[in-house]
Amino acid sequence: METQLVIKDRVRKGDALIERVVWVVPAPVRGCSHRFKYRLYCGQNGATVVRYDNESGKGDHRHLGKNERQQAYLFTTLEQLIMDFEADVIRLLGGKDESDH
């Protein structure tokens, strides 16, 4: 199996930038038990609001806030990952949702 791109999008919401990139990879990234490689990012005015990724050796984790405090993330499904990321984006941007522009 080759690496396959699953999601790649970039959206501006006001002064926030949201980027999502997800691949299916032939073997799990070191430190993970699933076959997804991902980077989900939301930034505002040049600062990270939230970022989820699974860098090799670090496993699944997220970075929250301007100091990018890192926390482990328990990956269950791709759908749950996306929902958790979107919930953090809404919460950390102050309650803005898809309809806010």
SS3 80: helix
75 within some domain: yes
99 within some domain: no
44 within some domain: yes
Question: Alpha carbon 59 to chain centroid distance?
Answer: 13
42 within some domain: yes
Instruction: Give the model's confidence band at 27: pLDDT under 50 very low, under 70 low, under 90 confident, else very high.
Output: very high
79 within some domain: yes
101 within some domain: no
C-alpha span between 60 and 39 (Å, rounded): 10
E strand or H helix that includes residue 90:
helix 78-92
Tens of pLDDT along 42-92?
Answer: 999 889 999 999 988 899 999 998 776 889 999 999 999 999 999 999 998
74 within some domain: yes
Residue 97 has pLDDT above 60, yes or no: no
Question: pTM (2 decimals)?
Answer: 0.87
What is the model's pLDDT at position 29?
A: 94
Q: Could you list the residue range(s) of the whole structural domain that residue 64 is in?
A: 4-92
